[in-house]
Amino acid sequence: MGSFYFPGDSWLHRTAAGVKLLLLMLAGAGLMWVHDWRILLLVLLGVLLLVQQSGARLQQVWLYLKTLSWLVIILILYTAFAQTPLGALEVGLRIYALLLGALLVSMTTSIAQMMEVLIWLLRPFHQLGWVNSERVALVFGLTLRLIPELTVQWQDIREAQAARGLKANPFTMGVPMLLRTLRRAQDIADALDARQ
């Protein structure tokens, strides 16, 4: 599975992941209080400049934005209808500035770096003994490993039912999917325990 991250050597890539995340959070909270569309436009242009600085291919950025856009466009139309066109402009600018900013962090920070920030954030809980960072990492790794397995499992059930002339329906798919998944849990747990 691909992620948004692309390797690079821009100063945005070199900035610590924690700093980028903190700035993104502050910007997100700050923009909620800005209601002047001219300032919002400046912010959006600033973010675009940063995107350009990161060395991202604009085509790629556009592709990501497109997957997020249909909802935003509905929202803008809804706001224009329910409020004023100027309000809709403000909403659109704010959302795109935030989306692009967040996308920028995702594009310049690898999953490993993000994971490090997460583990760092969990450290106080780890020291209190509430959370075991290694187990967190285990659950994450296991989840990613199981996605293809469960996709195959879904297709198996689907095919088995198609062979019997059944159409996909939430009951006939849901129950066997869950039962097989639960049955698997014990086997995997036993395998993990045996290795410890």
Partner 1 sequence: MLKTKDLVLVALFTAMIIVLGLIPPVPVPWVPVPITLQTFGVMLAGLILGPWRGGLVVLTYVLIAMLGIPVLPGGRAGLAVLAGPTGGFLLGMIPGAVITGWLAGALPRGELAHAPQGWKAVAPQVLRCWVASVIGGLLVVYAVGIPWLATVTGMGLNKAAWAVVVFLPGDLLKALVASIVAQRVRRLGMI
Q: Residue numbers of the site for partner 1 (CB under 8 A)? A: 1-5, 21, 24, 28, 32, 35, 64, 67-68, 71-72, 75, 78-79, 82-83, 87, 90-91, 94-95, 98-103, 105-106, 109, 111, 114-115, 118, 135, 138-140, 142-144, 146-147, 149-151, 154, 168, 170-171, 174-175, 177-179, 181-186, 188-189, 192-193
Q: How far is the CB of 165 from partner 1 (least distance, A)?
A: 19
Query: For partner 1, which is the closer residue by CB, 42 or 136?
Result: 136
Q: How far is the CB of 91 from partner 1 (least distance, A)?
A: 5
Q: How far is the CB of 4 from partner 1 (least distance, A)?
A: 5
Q: How far is the CB of 119 from partner 1 (least distance, A)?
A: 11
Query: For partner 1, which is the closer residue by CB, 16 or 147?
Result: 147
Identify which of 94, 105, 107 has the alpha carbon closest to the alpha carbon of residue 57: 107
Amino acid (one-letter) located at 94: R
DSSP 8-state secondary structure symbol assigned to residue 55: T
- Provide the H-helix boundaries in the chain: 11-14, 17-31, 37-54, 58-82, 85-108, 111-128, 133-163, 170-195
CB 65 within 8 A of CB 99: yes
Query: For partner 1, which is the closer residue by CB, 56 or 95?
Result: 95
- For 179-194, give the DSSP string: HHHHHHHHHHHHHHHH
Query: For partner 1, which is the closer residue by CB, 42 or 102?
Result: 102
Query: For partner 1, which is the closer residue by CB, 45 or 175?
Result: 175
Identify the burial level of 75 via C-beta atoms within 10 angstroms of its C-beta, where 0-12 means exposed, 13-18 middle and 19 or more buried: middle
Q: How far is the CB of 44 from partner 1 (least distance, A)?
A: 13
Amino acid (one-letter) located at 146: L
Question: Residues 27, 29, 33, CA angle at the centre, nearest 5°?
Answer: 105
